[in-house]
Each structure stands twice: as C-alpha cells, then as structure tokens.
Structure 1
Amino acid sequence: MERTINVILSGGVGSRLWPLSRKSKPKQYLPIFNNKSLFALTIERNQKVCQHVMLVGSVQNIDLAKDDLAPVSHDIIVEAVPRNTAAAIAFAAFAANPDDILIVTPSDHLIEGEEQYLQAVKRGIEFAKEGYLVTFGINPTRPETGYGYIESEGNDVLSFREKPNVETAKDFLKSGNFLWNSGIFCFKASTYLHELERFDPKVYNAAKTAFDAAEDGVLDVELSRKIPSKSVDYAIMERSDSIKVVPSFFQWSDMGSFDSLYDYLVAKGHPRDEHGNMVIGETKHTVFLGVRNCVVVNTDDALLIMDKAFAQDVKHIYEQLEKENSGLV
C-alpha cells in the first residue's frame, strides 16, 4: 500500500545566519520560533498528511534531529559527504516503495498558515498520483532578490528563473505570473527516479551505487564522492516536461538571512528602536546612536554588527572563517 512520506533534507549550515547558526547547531535546530526549532515545526506541520518521515542529512544534523524524530515513524539516511539535493532526494526514493508519494521539504523553512499549506500539499499529491513532478510556488509579496522564481500559467510551468536583480524582481512582480520557488516538491518515488535516470544518468547511477552499498543507512564516503553535486532544479525540474506547479498562498520564508529573521521577529513583537535597529541573541544593554536599520547579533563568542541591507553578505564572513579553520564556525 502506498504511503505519503515527508522527506526532510537537513544538510545545510545556514551560513548567512552566522554567528547564531554554526556547524555544531545549524539554524534549523535553533529553538527561536516560539521556543521551537524549524526542524521540529517541519515534522509537526507535515504529520497532518504524512504517515512516515524520512530524514536525509549529515552526521551532525542526524544527531541533533533524534529527539524530534523519536515520537514519529521514521527512517534516517546519513550522507557521508554533501552531494546536493538531486542525490539526497534519490536516496529517499531508493529507500521508498515505487508508488509512495514523497513530500520533499527543507528542514529550515518557516511556514505559517497551516490551512493554506495543507490545501496546497493535498493538491500536489493529486498531481503526483497522476505521474507529475510537483513544485510549490509562493505568491510573491515583494520584489525579493534572494529567491529563485517560477514563471507559470495556471499549474503549468513556463520557466525557472535564477535569483534576479532588483529591477528584474520588480518586473516579475508586476507581470503577475511569477512565483517564488519554495524548494518544496511532491512526486511518486518511481516518477522521480525515472526522470533522474532520464535526464542525469550520472547522478542516478552513482547515487544508486552508493545507496546499495550503504550499511545501516550510512552511505560510503568514497562512493558518495563520485556522485555529481547537482541541485534537483538543475538535474530535473528545469528539464522535465512532466512538471506541475501549485500556486500557494501560505506565508513562507527560507529564513536564509537576517533580513528574513528580522521581519519575522518584528511580526512577533521583538523589540527594535525608533530607527529600526534590533539586537538578536544574548541580552546586553545596547544603545544605537546615529545609525538606522542595523542588526546586532550577539553570542557568547562572537558579535556581528550589520546594516540590514547587507544581510545576504554574511555568508562571506562565514566562508572566510571556514578558510581560516576558525573555531567560530
């Protein structure tokens, strides 16, 4: 009998939320969303339509996830080295039954509006049962440059677009037929594997070899390194002719940077001064003088002081610290 499985991908660090997010505790495990983590909220949200959870992630992330997974039916696939989303989803599809419906979700997205979310997912499941690869497009509310876009007509996908500049994002918003690419997918396990083998046999074959050699759900390091690192968008979604998009109206953010976190905290009543300045993290008496729209992120061992407009650039700080083998990552 077919199952509906929530495939949760948890391999990232969240470098743009440094110094809150670290390798030892990535952003999806920080209990800062009404004292819950994004990972816990992902499980909770999808239990309404899924009978099982399948987590695909790094060794460190698996250890952090175990407490939240304990109450639910689940399997774990441990990635030896990160090989991007096309392979990660393939591992889950190999582990599932061919007719199982996979609802693939990142572990680090914030979603509010449960009724609208479940309505969209149920529509996606209908398309998946018909043999389509389904993606979920979010109705855009602003000319966002940090997200990819989907050009659509009804449920038909016309094109996928990379992260645009500000002027292009404004044009997308005016046109009315562009959606934010949420990174959430739905399809039969067999449909995904068929399309992956069709469009990227190198990823398919290398992932299958690594999966077949896995021991107790743990993938082999050397075999994993032979898998081409490609996103599911590049490997399949931008090439397949069996795609449907579900326009969705739930509130969504990938919580990928401090401007996203800032907006969330403002909506929840987190304090900021009359000039839009905010402190996130450890509590110290902080005074802003002569500056506007600044964010101070304060942890035990690091302090980030940032103009909110530069939120996307925090990853460069993280990358430099990583090159230096700093203990701060």
Structure 2
Amino acid sequence: MSSSKTVKHVILTGGVGSRLWPLSRKSTPKQYIKLFKGKSLFEMTIKRNLQIANDVVVVGNIDNYHLSNEVVNSLGVSPLNIIEATPRNTAAAIAFAAFATSKDAVLVVTPSDHIIQNDELYELAMKNAIQLAEQGNIVTFGINPTKPETGYGYIEFEGNDVLSFREKPNKETAEYFIEQGNFLWNSGMFCFKASVLLEELKKFEPEVYEASKKAWEHSIDGKLSIEDSKKIPSISIDYAVMERSKKIKVVPGAFEWSDLGSFESIYDYLKSIGHSIDENGNMVIGSDVYTAFLGLEDTIFVHTKDANLILQKEKAQQVKKLYNALDRVDSRLLD
C-alpha cells in the first residue's frame, strides 16, 4: 500500500513476556526469540508494515534496544530509535513517538510480539484506519473473536463506533460476548495523527503529557534520562485516552491474530504451521531429543539450557504466577 501521506509505523518493544518463561527471558524477551520458522515476532512485525508506512519508529528500552538494532540492521531499515531509561507504560511510550514526529504524521502503533496472518486483510484494515485517522479520529483495531477468550479485553461496537471497552472477562462473560455478536478482541494496535493523540493526552492526563514532553525535549539521540523518566506517571494508553476520548473509532479486523501471550496460544500457532504433536495432543518445544508422554493429554514440555517447564495447555495462564514466584526466590533464572 503506497501513500503520499506521512505514515509512520511505531513499534513498541517493551515487555518481558513473563507468561512464556522459560523461553522468554529478561535478556531475550519473546519478541526476539526465533521460534517462528527461524524468524522472530519483532522481525515479522517490521516486515508486515513496510508496505504500509514510510518510516519506522522503534520505542524500546535500555535493556533491549541492541536486540532491535540487530534485526533492523539485517533488514536494511533505518528507524528512529527512542530508548526509554525505564518503562513508564504505553501512554508515555506512544507520547514519545508522537513528540518525535511531525504533528500531521499518521502513526500506526503496534506491539512487537503479535502474530498476524493474511496480509491482504491486514492491509485493508490499515488502509481504513489511516483514512479515519486523517479525519481526526483515534482508531483502535478490534479482532473478530474465534472463541470465548478470557485473556483478552473486548470492544463493544457498532460499525466503526465504540460503544464500550470491557476488561478481560471470566468464561461465562466471554461466552455472552460471543453470543451477542458485536464484540471484538482488543488488539492493542492504534492509528492516529500525532497531534490528535497529544491533544487528547494533554486533556485527560496533563501530568503524563507534560512530563513526557519534558523527557523527550531533554533526550539525547533518542535516549531518555532516568531522572526525567521517573517523573512520568505510569499509565496505559487505554486508561489514559482510549476509554475517555470522544474521538475513538474501531476498525474490525478479519485477519487472523494472536498476541501469543501464553503457551496455549503458542501451541495453537505452532500446531497450525505443522509443529509435531503426539496422538494425545502433547507437544515438545525447544528440544529435538525423543520425548514420550505416558498418561498425559494436551501437555506442553518446554526445554531450555537451564530450565524445563511441563504444563497442561489449559493451565498456561498460571505461568506468570511461577515467574513472579521465581522473581522472589531466584531471579537468576529469569535473566
């Protein structure tokens, strides 16, 4: 999709992926793991948006920006790098990108750790969102749900209008959303003019706006200081703007999407591309050594050089509890 407009792809690379331990570590978060036919999610995200945007803005942190640079250099991409000294959540991260670009630029903001299939439908959704953003709207992307997922937030919608945002539901509520037929999964992807987003952020969260602006103005070669960063309130863009602004629109996406936020979603994706499982649905990740499962069904065995994880697929959301427990007992296993 070519465009005469200034469209910039802002890619957010923060996050450790704690629900994917031991694959995802502080030193190599999930978006940089080459688990997907030899490619990382970060690389796939960059490539997916090269046809949509004129430029790339990478918002990373002091711990992972070198990993991003390795990928963009190998792709021959020269992004604008914004390096956070300490993460201050998505409102600040997105504000930095908006301050760093021209006020009339349209920003397409995506996380770096999602899997998306069917590029034609993805580009169609992006084209629709860019048109709405040009008209002064702040656009969020909703995904047509395929099951009553409890790990995602939901968007109640009518056409391009957002009726409400809903938190991650329990199973009964998720089933109700699916039955209603006018609920979408909240993808965490956005599109807007830089100036429009900043105006709304200044209106609803002036402290975040001013502190982020000051931090950006004091930055050197895209690097933000720890002193300025610590003064920025930590709040998500959802709470800061999306759930409060009157300028929000939603573009429903028919493309296949997953945030790959748990081993259950990793399992489903790997199975869809031919990763082997046994007759009882058991899967091995990270090892070619012969592994047998006796008396087990839908079990995932994850192998790394210093840790093994064995879990039932439906218990995948509990990995974060294990991660937090390890953080208190032996954080070396998280590095």
- Structure 2 equivalent of residue 222 of structure 1: 227
- Structure 1 equivalent of residue 245 of structure 2: 240
Q: Runs of 5+ in structure 2 lacking a partner?
A: none
Cα drift, residue 13 of structure 1: 0.7
Verify: 1:281 aligned to 2:305, yes or no.
no
- Structure 2 equivalent of residue 52 of structure 1: 55
Distance 1:82 1:73 in 2: 23
Q: 1:31 aligns with which of 14, 31, 34?
A: 34
- Structure 2 equivalent of residue 202 of structure 1: 207
CA shift digits 1:269-309 (9 cap, x unpaired): 11111111111112222111111111110111000010111
Cα drift, residue 215 of structure 1: 1.3
Q: 1:64 aligns with which of 49, 62, 67?
A: 67
Distance 2:331 2:211 in 1: 33
Distance 1:326 1:230 in 2: 26
Contact 1:2 1:99 in 2 (8 A): no
Normalised TM-score (structure 2): 0.97
Percentage of matched positions with identical amino acids: 58
Tell me the matched-pair count: 329
Which residue type is aligned with residue 172 of structure 1? F
Cα drift, residue 222 of structure 1: 1.5
SS at match of 2:184: strand
CA shift digits 1:162-189 (9 cap, x unpaired): 0000000000000000000000000000
Cα drift, residue 142 of structure 1: 0.3
Contact 1:2 1:97 in 2 (8 A): no
- Structure 2 equivalent of residue 303 of structure 1: 308
Q: Which runs of 4+ in 1 moved over 3 A?
A: none
SS at match of 2:292: coil
Cα drift, residue 60 of structure 1: 2.1
- Structure 1 equivalent of residue 97 of structure 2: 92
Which residue type is aligned with residue 236 of structure 1? V
Q: 2:277 aligns with which of 263, 272, 279?
A: 272
Matches within 5 A, 1:254-269: 254-269=259-274
Q: Runs of 5+ in structure 1 lacking a partner?
A: none
Q: CA RMSD in A?
A: 1.0
**Which stretch has the larger CA shift, 197-206 or 65-74?**
65-74
Distance 1:2 1:95 in 2: 17
Q: 1:141 aligns with which of 146, 157, 171?
A: 146
Distance 2:145 2:181 in 1: 9
Normalised TM-score (structure 1): 0.98
- Structure 2 equivalent of residue 327 of structure 1: 332
Distance 1:322 1:171 in 2: 36
Contact 2:62 2:86 in 1 (8 A): no
Cα drift, residue 216 of structure 1: 1.3
Q: 2:297 aligns with which of 292, 296, 310?
A: 292
